[in-house]
Amino acid sequence: MKRLPFFVAILLGGLLLMGANGCSSDPNVEGAKLDLRNKDYDRALENLETALEKNPQNAEALELKGQVLQQMAFETPDPEEHTQLLQDMMEAYSQAAEINPELAGDINNRLQLAFANEFDRGIQAFNRGQEDDTVFSEAAAYFGNAATLGQEASMADSTLAGAHANQAYALINAGEAEAAIAPMQQAVDMGDNAADTYVILADLYRTTEQYEKVIEVLENARQLYPDNEDIAAQLLNAYVSSGQMDRAMDEYQAQVEADPDNKLYRYNYGSLLLESERYDDAIEQLKKAVELDPEYGSAQYNLGAAYVNKAVDVNERINAMDDSLRANREELSADEEEELQAEMEELAEQRRQLFADAIPQLERARAQAEAEGDDATGICQALFQAYVQTQQPDEKVQEAADCAGIDLN
């Protein structure tokens, strides 16, 4: 579960939701002030609507309307009604400040108080979501409200970034990954440059197959965190996923050249070479990864897979040559046929040796996987193939078949 990031506390000492002091020339505004003190919000709004019907430019009435709506929002538990009241509050405050700019300071303080209250609601809802994940959507709404309020109050980007990021985390936990993209991007744009934030944003773009955005985010992250292996690995995977194999290959090769004793770089480069069917180059890189860490199960498996895949390629060449020999035997001289047979036998021995080279790597990979409680079915399938091709004892073949789920009967 993602923890909520730290946010900057806002000191709002002394702010109270009270009606303005002093006398108004409008008796309805004076009545609304008394209604607010008595928490008779409906009557207060009726008085203020009457005042505004008389004078739509009454800034004092609009500001007081904002205060009434703000207090109502504080006391309203229903998330949708709460959010609507905040929107109406901001509209009233905005109109009041536009008509009378001298009110802007007090209004801004009240908006900051609303921001702090909304952020706290978001945290409380997020915490409740640990027990009931349906509440995460509610938390996301509160954090979204906080971001809007903070923007209205012209608060620092670093503070707003926390609201946007928390909204995204709540949406992710609510299972709304696509909806989380916009607030997480906002958090980054406003200065949340934590490595985890970039990685999460990239993963959100990846889930919607926006690979160019994935690459853009991770390339920016890499400039800030050039030594972060997770960012580097995800960026390279993004190159592969977007079909930019040449770009990925260049990146992998550069990493290996810069740090040749880094097992992860060797593994990544070797695995990409394996995927590109450059088996000899893949074997070179993966062998080095295993030398650097003999317990590197993933590298051992991929090294075994490289040997097996190369052996399969050799087998296909043998089959193609055999088909050609059968089809063209009458046209070949005895010497040509003998030469072709010799080449096929040489390839057959090469095929056998490749399968034999795969076995120790696959056996170690299997042992490592089983020791860690991982599924070894895929490894056993490769082992079964290698055992059969190298004519291993029947009990080993049967055991590998059982592990791989292969029925030999």
How far is the C-alpha of 217 from the C-alpha of 203, rounded, in Å? 10
SS (H, E, C) 280-320: HHHHHHHHHHHHHCCCCHHHHHHHHHHHHHHHHHHHHHHHH
What is the distance, to the nearest Å, from the Cα of residue 280 to the centroid of all Cα atoms in its chain?
Answer: 34
SS (H, E, C) 194-208: CHHHHHHHHHHHHHC
DSSP state letters, 155-189: --HHHHHHHHHHHHHHHHHTT-HHHHHHHHHHHHH
pTM more than 0.75: no
Confidence check: pLDDT of 357 > 70:
yes
Nearest residue to 265 (alpha-carbon basis) of 311, 228, 319, 229: 229
Nearest residue to 72 (alpha-carbon basis) of 105, 48, 103: 48
CA distances from 110 to 36, 107, 254 (A): 16, 5, 55
Surface-to-core class of residue 233, CB atoms within 10 Å of its CB (0-12 exposed, 13-18 middle, 19+ buried): middle
Identify the sign of the CA torsion 376, 378, 379, 383: positive
Give me the pLDDT at residue 17, please. 40
Confidence check: pLDDT of 22 > 80:
no
Mean pLDDT, to the nearest integer, of 275-290?
Answer: 95
DSSP state letters, 241-258: HTT-HHHHHHHHHHHHHH
Instruction: Render pLDDT for 103-159 as a digit per residue (tens, 0 to 9).
Output: 999 999 999 999 999 999 999 999 999 999 899 999 999 999 999 999 999 999 999
Confidence check: pLDDT of 354 > 50:
yes
Instruction: Render pLDDT for 283-333 as a digit per residue (tens, 0 to 9).
Output: 999 999 999 999 999 999 999 999 999 999 999 999 999 998 888 888 888
The rounded mean pLDDT for the chain is 90
Confidence check: pLDDT of 5 > 60:
no
Select the more confidently predicted residue: 77 or 16.
77
Residue 393, SS3? Answer: coil
Residue partners of 191: CB distance under 8 A and separation at least 6: 157, 158, 161
Mean pLDDT, to the nearest integer, of 381-407?
Answer: 93
Mean pLDDT, to the nearest integer, of 175-193?
Answer: 95
Give me the pLDDT at residue 15, please. 36
Confidence check: pLDDT of 349 > 80:
yes
Confidence check: pLDDT of 10 > 80:
no
Give me the pLDDT at residue 24, please. 55
Mean pLDDT, to the nearest integer, of 370-399?
Answer: 93
Confidence check: pLDDT of 25 > 90:
no
Give me the pLDDT at residue 325, please. 87
The angle formed by the CA atoms of residues 313, 238 and 157, to the nearest 5 degrees, is: 170
**Structure confidence at residue 374 as a pLDDT band (50, 70, 90):** very high
Instruction: Render pLDDT for 30-65 as a digit per residue (tens, 0 to 9).
Output: 999 999 999 999 999 999 999 999 999 999 999 999
Confidence check: pLDDT of 211 > 70:
yes
Give me the pLDDT at residue 19, please. 41
What's the helix, strand, coil split of the chain in %, to 5? 80, 0, 20
How far is the C-alpha of 269 from the C-alpha of 253, rounded, in Å? 7
DSSP state letters, 324-346: HHHHHGGGS-HHHHHHHHHHHHH
Confidence check: pLDDT of 13 > 50:
no
Confidence check: pLDDT of 99 > 90:
yes
Residue 360, SS3? Answer: helix
